[in-house]
Amino acid sequence: SRLRAFKGTLKSLYIWKCLSVRGNLMEMADFPRLKELELYGTPVTGDIRNIRSNDFPALESLNLPDTVQGGMKYEFRHVSEVPSFMHTVHLLSQRTPALFSKHYLLSTGLGWTLSEDSPDWYEKDECEFPYPPFHLQFVRAGSRRGWSWCSSNGEYSCEINWLDPEPNSGSGDYGTYIEELQGVEHFVGFYRGYYQPPTEAEYRRLIED
């Protein structure tokens, strides 16, 4: 990559919707001064799960295209893939809390969805029932973070997959956690008991019930 010539000095890289920019995300992992990396809309490839604790040591802001596994608006092929990506985002956010905040990426679950080409995907019922929960969202109650599958507007959510342990009942954060938890769980109704999208057969049974 021509960018290697700027390895020791490059601090910010903004390239949006430029199809001539190619390469792998990890080619810049050892850039010691790189703070901002914006590659949305480029055909750059890679996998965010390959980012290790010593990679991108100075990074403060990150926005990746959907050609990177785990990039913005990435579409998952299988439901079973998602937990490992969520774990990676959580670790990156712990290292750099504001890493994804510049474009409010976490509030929309990075735009992640289940691909319509996935063998786990199916059509919504024709009646006025909730859409299948094929979108993803990050949630927070107090200092505790988690994620869930949800409908496209977030109105119907599966159970929360927590990434952090529950705060101690004696901690100063516990009251806030309980209060905000009620708001989070308000959207868990139709899909209560499901931590991932129900299968099509399960979805049809929920509708019949």
| Contact of 148 with 159, CB cutoff 8 Å | yes
pLDDT greater than 90 at residue 193: yes
Q: In whole angstroms, what is the distance from residue 111 CA to residue 106 CA?
A: 8
Q: In whole angstroms, what is the distance from residue 153 CA to residue 25 CA?
A: 31
| Contact of 15 with 3, CB cutoff 8 Å | no
pLDDT tens, residue by residue, 24-57: 999 999 999 999 999 999 999 999 999 999 999 9
- Under DSSP, the state recorded for 111 is G
Q: What's the pLDDT score for residue 104?
A: 61
| Contact of 161 with 140, CB cutoff 8 Å | no
pLDDT tens, residue by residue, 126-164: 877 789 999 999 999 999 999 999 998 788 999 999 999
Task: Find the mean pLDDT for residues 72-89.
Answer: 96
Task: Find the mean pLDDT for residues 46-72.
Answer: 95
Q: Could you tell me the two tokens for 70?
A: 């785990």
Instruction: Tell which residue, 203, 85, 90, 74, has the closest CA to residue 139.
Output: 90
Phi, psi for residue 179 in degrees, rounded to 5: -65, -45
In angstroms, the Cα distances linking 47 to 44, 76, 148 are 10, 12, 21
Q: What's the pLDDT score for residue 19?
A: 93
Q: Could you tell me the two tokens for 62?
A: 């990150």
- 10 Å CB burial of residue 209 (0-12, 13-18, 19+) is exposed
Looking at every residue in the chain, the average pLDDT score rounds to: 93
